Structure 1
């Protein structure tokens, strides 16, 4: 798909800039650590992730959008066997992929080996827009392999995959942001989309709370499958975010990258 990477990059940087500005103007919580050091680490992690995906593209050599184009050319996948209107195919595809990411997220909390990778994301002791890009590169690679396999099974139009990636990245940055929404607006939005207050519960230090609210985009899956917790027990102002490492270690790049391989 022509200029697909450029379109996604422009949207990503635009949304990141807007959300970073908004959370500075209307913060939900007081930061426990300086933003500068955390941002250097979290951006460093996402740069490594980008290089990892580049390397993966050379090895495969297709990522999710390329897989959609290849599946279309080969006539593989469910949607290539159906004659659905494009708009309907896009809607169904986005819903299926979003549910798949929700289920993948739940599994990463239940399988110890995958949790060792995913806890890099949860170890951040503050939450803001950069937490959305803080994932270990091995987890990012595994997630991409899952998406590629699912795209081949579905055979969706490439535009559906691009739209899904844009929605996923945009909503993840939104619901990880330290943005204060009016309570009335949060109540309305979370009926469909995951809000910052809803997702913050998922980053609680308490296992019962961080094993809930797995959605990145749509809130409906948690509500349907009984994994929804509306508010943290200690309230948003007093709750602790992160895991057992409540010091400056999660803000260090080297520590974050080696965390999955630590003994504990």
Structure 2
């Protein structure tokens, strides 16, 4: 465990980039061979939009990384945060508790709030406009949402009191989990159901991308499924009934054009009978 801690405490940017690119490549190849749905779309054109948003997310996180680092260092230097106040525990348990708490604040909580606060939903909406969910969809976030999520992650690091190695470990696992749960891959249903008892599985997360309420407002988790089960936001829908997208933006001229997607948060909100959201 000490070797793992040392690695993540000093993980080079090149390794983090390799994990991101390698994960997308790995799941891209698998979903081509074992697809959950036979999606009829221009995969490279679709990926181009999502890659652009991935790169903007990376750029924003890189530009603001010093805030995260200084916040983490401050909590350790001042013995501040939940992890610092808990009794001493083995390193593996410390890491697990930290990952659970970071996943709650930095993923589940911000995701839940984005669905409930209309102003924040305008930015998160872009993620839901995707009608062809594949592994590239995981980081389809408007630049404004990337800033919002960074704020929540920093807040999580502050109140939890996370050392920087734990932050980098969480971000690494989060990236892989996001690529996995969005990948258009067909796992055996029993295996997927078993995984969803502990972790967010592909089929579990696909329900969140169904175009109608109440399914859109369910399954907010990123790594662990415990938070959805604990707070009653877990829902199941047979995969054959899932329709991707959002009912306010069904036209490819809107959900499959980068310029349009960047403008959506600043347009007049749309309300429909099926999805009463901005």
Q: Does TM, normalized by the shorter one, top 0.5?
A: yes
Matched, 1:99 2:104: yes
Matched, 1:45 2:53: yes
Q: Residues 71-128 of structure 1, C-alpha deviation per residue, up to 9 Å, x if partnerless?
A: 3234433434554433222111111111222121111111101111100000001100
Computed over aligned residues only, the root mean square deviation of the Cα atoms, in angstroms, reads 1.8
- 3-state DSSP of counterpart to 2:67: coil
Matched, 1:141 2:147: yes
- Contact 2:198–2:226 (CA under 8 A) maintained in structure 1: yes
2:75 and 2:146 map into 1 onto residues whose CA distance is 22
Cα distance, 1:246 vs. partner? 2.1
Cα distance, 1:4 vs. partner? 4.1
Instruction: Compare 214-223 and 65-74 and name the one that shifted more.
Output: 65-74
Instruction: Pick the aligned partner of 2:184 from 156, 178, 196.
Output: 178
Matched, 1:6 2:6: no
Partner in structure 1 of residue 120 of structure 2: 114
Partner in structure 2 of residue 161 of structure 1: 167
Instruction: Pick the aligned partner of 1:202 from 193, 208, 222.
Output: 208
Partner in structure 1 of residue 199 of structure 2: 193
**Distance change >3 Å, CA 192–CA 79, structure 1 → 2:** closer
- Contact 2:102–2:160 (CA under 8 A) maintained in structure 1: no
Partner in structure 2 of residue 259 of structure 1: 264
- Contact 2:206–2:242 (CA under 8 A) maintained in structure 1: no
Q: Residues 197-223 of structure 1, C-alpha deviation per residue, up to 9 Å, x if partnerless?
A: 111110111121111111111112112
Instruction: Pick the aligned partner of 1:23 from 18, 21, 31.
Output: 31
**Distance change >3 Å, CA 156–CA 54, structure 1 → 2:** closer
- Contact 2:10–2:165 (CA under 8 A) maintained in structure 1: no
Instruction: Pick the aligned partner of 2:73 from 69, 73, 76.
Output: 69
**Distance change >3 Å, CA 94–CA 113, structure 1 → 2:** same
- Contact 1:28–1:178 (CA under 8 A) maintained in structure 2: yes
**Distance change >3 Å, CA 54–CA 252, structure 1 → 2:** same
Where does structure 1 lack aligned partners over 5 or more consecutive residues?
Answer: none
Matched, 1:54 2:62: yes
Instruction: Pick the aligned partner of 2:243 from 240, 245, 254.
Output: 240
1:239 and 1:78 map into 2 onto residues whose CA distance is 39
Cα distance, 1:56 vs. partner? 2.9
| TM-score, with structure 2 as normaliser | 0.86
Partner in structure 2 of residue 85 of structure 1: 90
Higher relative CO (Cα under 8 Å, sequence separation at least 6) belongs to 1
Instruction: Compare 31-40 and 105-114 and name the one that shifted more.
Output: 31-40
- Contact 1:176–1:196 (CA under 8 A) maintained in structure 2: yes
Cα distance, 1:141 vs. partner? 1.0
Where does structure 2 lack aligned partners over 5 or more consecutive residues?
Answer: 1-8, 270-278
- 3-state DSSP of counterpart to 1:207: coil
| TM-score, with structure 1 as normaliser | 0.90
- 3-state DSSP of counterpart to 2:38: coil
